[in-house]
Amino acid sequence: MTKPPAPAAMLESSMAAMSFPPFCIATKGILVQTNGLSTPARGTRAGRRRTRRAIVRDAQQGGFARRMTQETRPDVVWHTGHVCRGERAARLGQAPLTLWLTGLSAAGKSTLAFALERALHDRGRACYVLDGDNVRHGLNRNLGFSPADRSENIRRIAEVARLMNDAGLIVITAFISPGRADRTTAREIIGATSFLEVHVSTPLAVCEARDPKGFYGQARRDELADFTGVSSPYEAPEQADLSIDTAQVSLADAVDQLLQLLAGPSAQR
C-alpha cells in the first residue's frame, strides 16, 4: 500500500501546481484581465487591443471591482496602480487568501495562528498573522468590547486582510469574532474566493479551565462586562471550512490539518 504524502509535501506540490489568475492591469479605473498577456505584449498595439477587450475579474481580485463600483464616495478618488494582485501572487509563487480563525477566548486561536505562520514561513510562503490582542495595541486601540466596537474591530481587520491579500500575502487572523453577521461582513470584504473560516471549537468548560489571562474569572465575578461565553454570546459557524478542538488534538496535528486545508480544493476555489 502506497504511503500517503505528508501534509507538508501535499502543500508544496499543490501550491507548485496552482494556476494563478492571468495578469491584469487597470483601464478606466477598473481592474481587468489581460488574458495572459506578457509584459512586453502589453506595450504593443496588438497587446493594447487585447487589453481593451479584457473582462473584469471581480471574484479573483478580492472584490475590488465590485467595491469600486458600488461603494464609491463622491469626495474620494480611487487611484489604480500598475501592478495587480495576480502579478504579485505570481511573483511570490502562492495564492493569497485569508484563513479566519474564530472561537472563544483561550480556545487556542493565537497559538494555532503563530504555529501555522512558522510552518508556512519555513516552507517559503509569505504570510502574516493578525492577532486580536496585538491589533488593539495600535490600529484598534480606540475600540472597546461593546457590540458596535466589536463589529468595527472585525471590519477594520477584514479591510487590512484584504489589502494584505492584494499584496500577495497569506493572512491568518486570530479573533474571537463572535457574531455570524460580522464574519459574513469579513467574508464579503475579503472576497468569498479568498476566505477560509476555521472554527477553533474548544468547549467553553475547557477554555474557562485554562483562563490564562484570568478573564473568565473576572467575568464570573461581574468585574468584566461583555465577555464572550459568559455575559455575551458566541455564535458558532454553521458551515466552517474546518473545525478544530484543541482539547482533542495536539498542536502539531492541528497545524497539519490547517496545512491540508490550504492544500485542498477549498483553498483553490
Task: Give CA 101 to chain center in angstroms.
Answer: 9
Supply 111's cell numbers: 497559538
Of the candidates 13, 19, 146, 177, the residue annotated as catalytic is: 177
Q: Which of 57-66, 131-140, 238-247 has the highest mean pLDDT?
A: 238-247
pLDDT of residue 159: 97
Q: How confident is the model at residue 151 (pLDDT cuts 50, 70, 90)?
A: very high
257: closest CA among 14, 268, 246? 246
Phi first, then psi, for residue 10 (nearest 5°) are -60, -40
On average, the pLDDT of the chain sits at: 80
The full set of domains in the chain, from first to last, is 20-91 (no CATH), 94-268 (3.40.50.300)
Element (H, E) at 98: strand 98-102
Residue 70 pLDDT more than 70? no
Residue 7 pLDDT more than 90? no
Supply 53's cell numbers: 477587450
Mean pLDDT of 247-257: 98
- Long-range own/partner contacts, residues 250-256 (CB < 8 A, 24 or more apart): 251/108, 251/111, 251/112, 251/115, 254/108, 254/112, 254/115, 255/112, 255/115, 255/116, 255/119, 256/7
pLDDT of residue 235: 97
**Calpha distance 126→133 (Å, rounded):** 22
Produce one character per residue of 149-180: b if its CB has 16 or more CB atoms within 10 Å, e if not. Answer: ebbbbbebbbebbbebbbbbbbbbbbbbbbbe
Q: Are 95 and 17 in contact (CB under 8 A)?
A: no
Among 4-8, 33-37, 166-170, which stretch is predicted with the lowest mean pLDDT? Answer: 33-37
pLDDT of residue 32: 36
Q: How confident is the model at residue 267 (pLDDT cuts 50, 70, 90)?
A: low
Supply 267's cell numbers: 483553498
pLDDT of residue 199: 99
Active site residue 231: no
> Which residues belong to the annotated binding site for ATP?
103-110
For residue 95, the tally of other CB atoms under 10 A from its CB is 22
Mean pLDDT of 104-132: 97
Give the pLDDT confidence of 199-211 residue by residue, as tens digits: 999 999 999 999 9
- For residue 88, the 8-state DSSP code is H
**Calpha distance 121→127 (Å, rounded):** 7
Higher-confidence position of 39 and 81 = 81
Q: Are 236 and 199 in contact (CB under 8 A)?
A: yes
